[in-house]
Copies of this chain bind each other. A is one copy, B any other.
Amino acid sequence: MTLKDTIAHIPEPDAGAAEAARSRQDMLTKPRGSLGRLEELSIRLAAISGQPLPTIKHKVIVTMAGDHGVARDGVSAYPPEVTPQMVLNFLSGRAAVNVLARHVGARIVVVDMGVNYDFDPHPDLLIRKVARGTNSIACGPAMTREQAVQAIEAGIEVVEAEIAEGLDIVGTGDMGIGNTTPSAAIAAALTGEAVSKIVGRGTGLDDAGLARKVEVIERALAINKPDPNDGLDVLAKVGGFEIGGLAGVILGAASHRRPVMIDGFISTAAAMIAIAMAPQARPYLIAAHRSQEQGHGIMQDWAGLKPLLDIDMRLGEGTGAALGISLAEAACKILAEMATFDEAGVSSKEE
């Protein structure tokens, strides 16, 4: 679907299914509410899917890669050639996201949204290259508005193809040297917070690098003047191709009632773009974790996302999403597989 049609098709969450799930949780053999956020999660998954007993079997993590013109401005501790090197590492199955996806039974789809490298064909790699990296946001817009639409629509198409194959939940993942810089710029543009409050050390900047990064983002915002009331404008001016692609994955999943497990800092920036364009997508998003990257909390608060895990991760790739997907699956199994008090012949609370 086109971006416009996709946004128009995002439904309301199903209040009836949520209510049915909530009633069932209260009949299961445990004190009410004693499974805490797992219970809450199962009710949300019912609302998202429209199923009183949602199931999560087909799990996919979409890891999108792109290069960033701004990476040449000293905002990352790693050189830009690491972007394609890590894509190849994903394809060989030995990066962190591969290990964690296998652990939770999820498949990974790797998408080249705009890497400055020509990959050989590979069954697990989709080439949706918008360009060989964005322009530096420190000098002008990252991409044209048309390219921003192209990136988002590529994401919609990728997730729709997976939904056609039976996808029950999608996790977001990213790879792109320098991409905490556009993500922080998006966060600053949409929240209005000071750049210095949002920017962190990314993959490991020192103090001088951090100061340079703040200055680059402040310059990018001053030069580009992204319009906080226009998510597409923010993406085009200070975003990235993989960020746009992930925003498309999010919108596409929401339009088909599929839950999206949002990974860390970069994925949350993509979620913010999606929400800025379509606030009705918000109920379909679940935050996997609170990244150790500074500013992530500010972004999650803006997006209304409460993280499941807080274990100092800050890698991206979809690593946090993998762990979050396992919790979502656990929540569905609790709802479907536990006995009720009646079924088990267990006395309920004395009231």
A interface residues, Cβ below 8 angstroms from B:
28-38, 77-79, 81-82, 85-86, 88-89, 92, 94-96, 98-100, 102-103, 203-204, 292, 308-315, 319, 323, 326-327, 329-330, 333-334, 337-339, 343-350
Contacts and interface: CB of A to CB of B under 8 A. Distances in A.
Contacts of A347: 78-79, 81-82, 85
A339 B36 contact: no
B99 A29 contact: no
A204 B87 CA distance: 50
A35 B339 contact: no
A86 B337 CA distance: 15
Contacts of A327: 311, 323
A311 to B, nearest CB: 4
A92 to B, nearest CB: 7
Contacts of A77: 31, 349-350
B89 A339 contact: yes
A153 B60 CA distance: 46
Nearest to A336: B99
B337 A94 contact: yes
Nearest to A346: B85
B103 A338 contact: no
| Nearest 6 interchain pairs by C-beta | A36-B312, A94-B339, A37-B311, A31-B203, A34-B315, A85-B346
A113 B34 CA distance: 24
A314 B39 CA distance: 12
A176 B306 CA distance: 33
A350 B72 CA distance: 13
Contacts of A96: 28-30, 35, 334, 338
Contacts of A36: 292, 311-314
Contacts of A38: 311, 313
Contacts of A79: 347, 350
Given A34-B313, A38-B313, 6 more contacts: A88-B344, A92-B339, A98-B337, A102-B333, A103-B333, A326-B326
A32 B96 CA distance: 12
A330 B102 CA distance: 10
Contact of A29 (B95, B204, B350): B95
Given A92-B339, A347-B78, A100 B323 contact: no
Nearest to A37: B311
